[in-house]
Amino acid sequence: MMGLTKGFVLAVMILAGGFLGLGASRLWALEEPSWNVLEEVVVTATRTEKATAEVPASASVVTAQEIEAKGSKTFDQTLSHLPGVYVRRGKGLMDTLSSISLRGIPDPKRTLVLVDGIALNNPYAGNVKFGGFYPEELERVEVVRGPFSSLYGGYAMGGVVNFITRMPEKREVWVKAGYGNGFQGGEAMEDLSRLYLSYGDKLWDKFSFILSYGRQDTNGYPTDLNLTSKAPPASVSGWKETTDRYDKKAYLVGDKGDNTWWDDGFTAKAAYFLTPKTQLGMTFMYNRYEYDYDDPHTFLRDESGNPVWSYKGLSESGFLPGGGGRAQGLYSVDFETQDFMDLKITGKVAYLKVYEDWYVTTISGATRFGGPGYVSNTPQESLTQELQLTIPLNSIAGGSFWGRHTVTLGETFKTGKSNTKEKNLTDWRDEDSTTNLRYQSEGKDRFWGLYVQDEISILENVTAYLGLRQDWWKTFDGFVVDYDTNKWTPKPGYPKAYRERSHSSLSPKAALVYKPTDGTTLRTSVGKAFRPPTPYELYRTWTSSSGVTYAGNPSLKPETTVSWDLSIEQRLWKNAKGSVTYFENYMKDLIYRQTVSSTYQELANVGKAESRGVEAGLEQRLFEWLTFFGNVTYTDSEVTQNKAKPATEGKRLTQMPLWMTNLGARVAKGPLTFSIEEHYVGKRYNDDTNADRKDNVYGSYDPYWITNVAVSYQVKPWAKVSLLVDNLFDEDYYSYYKAPGRSWFAELSVKF
């Protein structure tokens, strides 16, 4: 087990560096009293507006100008340059497993992702799927790191990401269209086309609205290779001997075809000011995506040169991946007022509806021309209601003791449900050719939370934050049935109806912010966060054809973490700032699958883990038009206990790189904008025993260093042309799938 001693030593080093930086800042202040750096404002860290230098957490803001300059095509890609943020996206747009993880706490369901304060973590598995969300919608993105269950409840173990959409201040028409391709055929997204349209206005100084639509299409490239452990017979040629990610001999026999993709999204957003300090808002977002594969390719040939699709130990169905898709709607109404004694009251009601979330799986007997398969579909929905009151006692109570306090009180209610159905297909190529129901599981949950945060001005330059939240959680109506595909009757032990159960979680947090000078901020915090088990983990139970039951567990408890950090943010000299943060996370009750018998496995709270690390960054604006930045993240993680699988103890957490580095520069001079970013991500393991050590093979998660470049030119005040080159030096690597090689994308933007 990693002890506290190492962390204490590093924390002392950070403090020492802070005081050295403080001395330097005092000396510099004698020569240059003006830092000439604009402060960014965030709302996510405290649920009230605060400058980034004053918030009680490590926070980052990505502006719309930065997003536009780097040419991001998805929400998650806007964060790829930030310290402490691991963005997993292995095969371009087509990656439905893309995710965001923060602060050494792996798995996307342990990071809370919001859009305009509304949770996007889905009601079924807790993850987020980014297809159909367009970065052009964004005003900014706020990232706050560390445990935030004291304000936001479940999922906020590693931190919170809040995508904040824009609202025009005047009439605006925006049209963007672009096309791109790989430099080499079959190595990157081919025939990528992109369109974005928006229209917005502000009328009578009271009513603002925006309507937008975006669409992306690509013919993709072969991302899914076909490896087999069974050697081809002597009469077959064309295969290539290789290894799998465990360094075991394998044979590359083909690929599963070009991985095609399209997505689109429609947004309608409006706001009406009843008074200058009272606003009503409405948002509707509808997002879809669909992926598929064109004809697969076999590398195998018989003695006559004819294609070979199967032999003993290899089935043609192994060449046949199925397609999938998702359609989701987000509806919200919000209210905000500050008309009474400077009290700020906000309220929100949001409804998330996943109309369909489906994928097709082929089974034995399927061929390129049809045959059996099944389609799995999981409609989901959740309803969230929030009410918050912020009381600035400093303006109400004047100079008394209570005048040092700003109190935020809030209440949240959320209910969700999901229903998975698997149906057999007569033709795997047609997801509508359904017949019998082969499997079904469903479940519901309900949350209610109360929270309070007290912001205390201890001294003029010292502020403390004390937060506490109590969440009550209930799960009910759990049901599962698994059918015998030969008899079309429930298998033995099915159907199952699960009893309801409830649980509660108390999430405290304390933080201290000290600003010894205008250019120095020291902060420290400690808090507890939790993640409730999802309906997938509670109820998803099925029995395989070999007779092994893989069971959910309705008795699961929430996962928890106790985390603390210590940081310094220092303005080093004119237009330069640096930051260093040390953090530790102590996770317990992690959910793992344990083997109960040779025919039964179930999920259980059996794991503990720790992670600790350092995030360091530096930004320098040399001129008004030139900025350099760089940051590095070191995360040392370890499973410290796993009763279900002791072999994982002492191993690194899955999907958690040891090192991440970002370097970049931005130029904005006259009509020219230029951006270059370099990203390094270290080796990751997908096996919790860390046995998947082999690199540069299908299924591995390789370390990589890629460079992305974007340049744009304002040809007219209302027209701009852009050129983007991703993976400039054509880095060859795998993130399970074959990652995209070098590609280009050209775009025209018209805005007036």
Question: What is the SS3 string spanning 128-191?
Answer: CCCCCCCHHHEEEEEEEECCCHHHHCCCCCCEEEEEEECCCCCCEEEEEEEEEEECCCCCCCEC
What residue type is assigned to position 486 of the chain?
Answer: N
**Could you tell me the two tokens for 367?**
């061929």
Q: Give 10's contacts (C-beta < 8 A, 6+ positions apart).
A: 582, 614
Residue 234 pLDDT greater than 50, yes or no: yes
Q: Is 73 helix (H, G, I), strand (E, B) or coil?
A: coil
Determine if the pTM surpasses 0.85: yes
Which has the higher per-residue pLDDT, 339 or 636? 636
Tokens 């690194």 sit at which residue?
652
664 closest CA partner among 674, 653, 652, 649: 674
Give 3-state DSSP helix, strand, coil % of the chain, rounded to 5: 10, 55, 35
Least confident of 97-111, 486-500, 735-749: 486-500
For 351, counting Cβ atoms within 10 Å of its Cβ (0-12 exposed, 13-18 middle, 19+ buried), the class is middle
281 closest CA partner among 351, 338, 342, 347: 347
Q: 672-681 and 704-716: which strand pairing?
A: antiparallel
The pLDDT, as a whole number, for residue 399 is 62
What residue type is assigned to position 438 of the chain?
Answer: R
Residue 17 pLDDT greater than 50, yes or no: no
198 closest CA partner among 281, 266, 133, 286: 266
DSSP string of 467-478?
EEEEEEEEEEEE
Dihedral sign (CA 682, 686, 690, 696): negative
d(C-alpha 498, C-alpha 495), whole Å: 10
Contact 286, 351 (CB under 8 A): no
What residue type is assigned to position 164 of the chain?
Answer: I
| 173-229 tens-digit pLDDT | 999 999 999 999 899 999 999 999 999 999 998 999 999 999 999 999 999 999 999
Q: What is the mean pLDDT of the chain?
A: 91
State the DSSP code for 616: E
Q: What angle do CA 692, 145, 636 make, to 5 degrees?
A: 35
Q: Which CATH topology does 4-751 take?
A: Maltoporin; Chain A (2.40.170)
Contact 580, 166 (CB under 8 A): no
d(C-alpha 310, C-alpha 317), whole Å: 9
The pLDDT, as a whole number, for residue 165 is 97
The pLDDT, as a whole number, for residue 628 is 95
Dihedral sign (CA 596, 601, 602, 604): positive
471 closest CA partner among 401, 392, 384, 530: 530
Which has the higher per-residue pLDDT, 226 or 10? 226
Tokens 């297809």 sit at which residue?
131
Contact 392, 408 (CB under 8 A): no
Question: What is the SS3 string spanning 322-366?
Answer: CCEEEEEEEEEEEEEEEEECCEEEEEEEEEEEEEEEEEEEECCCC
Could you list the beta-strand ranges (E) of 229-316.
240-243, 249-255, 259-275, 278-293, 297-298
The pLDDT, as a whole number, for residue 20 is 36
Q: 734-735 and 343-362: which strand pairing?
A: unpaired
The pLDDT, as a whole number, for residue 398 is 61
d(C-alpha 289, C-alpha 355), whole Å: 12
All structural domains of the chain with their residue ranges: 4-751
The pLDDT, as a whole number, for residue 395 is 66
Backbone angles phi, psi at 22, to 5 degrees: -60, -45
d(C-alpha 152, C-alpha 583), whole Å: 20
pLDDT above 70 as % of the chain: 94
Q: What is the mean pLDDT of residues 271-280?
A: 94
